[in-house]
Amino acid sequence: KHPWLTDVDKQRPRQSNTVLFTGCLGLMQPDVILAALDLVHRIDPDAQALGGLKYCCGDIHLRTGHPEASIANFTNLVRALDTFSPKNVVFICPTCKSYFDLHKPDTEWSWHFITEFLIDHLDKLGEFKEIKAKVTIHDACHLVRGEEPDSETPRKILSAIPGIDLIEIENSKETS
């Protein structure tokens, strides 16, 4: 059993200021979602997560030539997220975040990519242990070329960790 809701109609979520949307990543890499949920819980212990087959941002349908299915999925996801009455929805998937930026649903809540959310609450994550490592970032295409590009928040997180030596690869940020 996953620690996220997969059906808001049957599970009836409680109100949460923060909701982590797993996207399809939750189906393929639940370990990444569990790590993200741990970080989000450090910021908001009452945060909940939503994922599963029933919820999709709609991007995949749009890209495969099914705009009606895309709209239906997107509308269903926005409705499901509304049931939490959140203030913030946090996306772990850059494609989902980009899709929301493109379509800008009329909601009472705002949405953020996880790195932006973490940077906004870095002080709540606690002190970072020193990690001696050379690190590079493969920027997500949808994150750096989306409607609201962001290549800096992942770098800010890494720069907050003592001992990290960030090495920029030749094709990074907007040229990734």
Give per-residue pLDDT as tens, 79-89.
Answer: 999 999 999 99
Give Dmax (Cα) for the chain: 49
What dihedral do alpha carbons 134, 113, 93, 105 form, nearest 10°?
-160
Which amino acid would we find at residue 112? H
Distance in angstroms (rounded) separating the CA atoms of residues 111 and 97: 7
Q: What is the pLDDT of residue 153?
A: 86
What DSSP designation does 5 have?
A: B
Range 143-165 average pLDDT: 80
Task: Name the least confident of 38-42, 108-112, 152-156.
Answer: 152-156
Does residue 36 register a pLDDT over 80?
yes
Give per-residue pLDDT as tens, 91-140.
Answer: 998 889 988 998 999 999 999 999 999 999 999 998 899 999 999 988 77
Range with the largest mean pLDDT of 22-26, 111-115, 142-146: 111-115
Q: What is the pLDDT of residue 26?
A: 78
Q: What is the pLDDT of residue 152?
A: 82
Task: Give the global pTM.
Answer: 0.88
